[in-house]
Structure 1
């Protein structure tokens, strides 16, 4: 691997670490706000703030012309996948412990590894595929298939929401890789925040007065559809922090996946797992159940194995020796 490629990989890894750190703070703050504000209000406010920061980065990366694209359909589709991923994850997060929701969402790097084969044409050998299978065993354990509905704190549907979010997140990052060859990270971030603004405004027009829920509605549905309220003085600063975090997330993750291949970047997202456990314990007093610890261990272990295999493959290829694993 030449020096330029190594530098790009190093910058990609730094970008994803910063982005995932911001995501962990973002999730903690949204969970804090989920009891009093609707999701579409939170999304609108943070995206309105974030797009201002993103437009500043547009100027730094070349000016307004970097927003021009000849692939508007793919950008729109990418934005839609981010919206679906965020909405489903945050609805689940509002009623699930932070570590549980995050651990289930970390099926995303597993999905990325699998989907990089048909979408990006990347080669993934049997050893890495086996590691992915082990990771999905961890996902199944966290779903507690042996427990009846009465033995679960939430419904099966809610437990599936972080997995659905993970699938759409994986699709988003793979499309970022395809678009990133020609688009700047700042432009990718602006398109994402613009999509969030559009969708949240549509939610407000349809359900902003809380007409579709009542006091007996499930907590997750309340979070999705309750009426907008003006933030308290203390929460105004939380909303501002969310906006700054959203700008960091949108830019850093777009930068990471445009600079390096998905299999190199994705494993570093696992730093979000210990961060979620930390925030869950420190802020909400949540201690993960044994199934979650096992799931975390299997997903983390499989992800690290995939990373080690990818680095070993890169070293072998740099010496001119082929490998099929």
Structure 2
């Protein structure tokens, strides 16, 4: 069955919406038990959930080259999400998400360098339009509220965005070599190994209520991972990276409902530009997969 770029984009949007709901759980948990423990236990629970899926629907242990790609992508993602949730515990959720919008811009050029994708003028223009929306939103926070702790949190999120951009590009390559179930399983496996290094000195046991929320976060993360892996298997990275901008809309809604954060007029104006850029980028015909991908 032929999958249209629009269908892949729609599935990616579902993945981002689900991921945003998980962000809300993880922000609260990161405040309570710290970003490290929140990610450690979410990854352990996520691995327990994904093992049966891999055993039933997986295609067996991958070859060496594919396993290396899984490892590199998952390590980059693991560093990214840890820094992101550490920062998100220190800045408002909506503003924290806007800072991650630097990563799709970086990913556009990484996709050209690493995957041989041709960057279309439409995609560049759409990304610049969306990035202008980020600038409008950030201008509403020019007062510098939150002090040094918020500044440190913002810096951590910007660095997280750089790692996430690398993850996005490798996700496209992984998705062409392995199915969504395999990608989800290896993501959790590598996360547990990565975070487990510091467990003897840094891990603390969550209480029953926190375990429930960690389980919900892990389930949402798996759903999001499956959706995004499927989408990246059916469309170019440069076409899908702009769907990341829709996370701001969900973050704004969730931050107001869960954390009582106020929505600024400039935030609305910026969101309009972000959504417009995402829609423009999603239109047009898909380019064929580069030869480098097919040979990987």
The answer to whether the aligner puts 1:230 opposite 2:206 as a matched pair is yes
Deviates more, 1:89-98 or 1:286-295: 286-295
Matches within 5 A, 1:24-173: 24-63=20-59, 65-144=60-139, 147=142, 151-155=144-148, 156-173=151-168
Please name the residue that 1:249 is paired with. Answer: 224
Please name the residue that 2:293 is paired with. Answer: none
Pairwise CA distance, 1:108: 2.9
Q: Within 1, Cα distance between the matches of 2:61 and 2:16?
A: 25
Please name the residue that 2:186 is paired with. Answer: 191
Deviates more, 1:250-259 or 1:265-274: 265-274
Change (3 A) 1:11 1:55: farther
Contact 2:134 2:274 in 1 (8 A): yes
Change (3 A) 1:191 1:147: same
Q: Within 2, Cα distance between the matches of 1:275 and 1:240?
A: 21
Number of aligned residue pairs: give it: 286
Contact 1:103 1:296 in 2 (8 A): no
Contact 2:93 2:252 in 1 (8 A): yes
Q: Within 2, Cα distance between the matches of 1:255 and 1:47?
A: 21
Contact 2:235 2:286 in 1 (8 A): no
Pairwise CA distance, 1:30: 1.1
Pairwise CA distance, 1:241: 0.8
Deviates more, 1:21-30 or 1:299-308: 299-308
Pairwise CA distance, 1:120: 1.7
Matches within 5 A, 1:210-225: none
Query: Could you state the TM-score of these two structures normalised by the residue count of structure 2?
Result: 0.84
Contact 1:134 1:298 in 2 (8 A): yes
Q: Which runs of 5+ in 1 are unaligned?
A: 209-227, 318-325
Q: Within 2, Cα distance between the matches of 1:289 and 1:229?
A: 38
Please name the residue that 2:280 is paired with. Answer: 305
Please name the residue that 1:214 is paired with. Answer: none
Pairwise CA distance, 1:109: 2.8
Q: Within 2, Cα distance between the matches of 1:75 and 1:62?
A: 14
Pairwise CA distance, 1:50: 1.3
Query: What SS class does the counterpart of residue 288 from structure 1 fall into?
Result: coil
Deviates more, 1:67-76 or 1:279-288: 67-76
Deviates more, 1:296-305 or 1:195-204: 296-305
Q: Within 2, Cα distance between the matches of 1:269 and 1:144?
A: 20
Pairwise CA distance, 1:142: 4.6
Q: Within 1, Cα distance between the matches of 2:266 and 2:109?
A: 24
Contact 2:175 2:233 in 1 (8 A): yes
Change (3 A) 1:59 1:17: farther
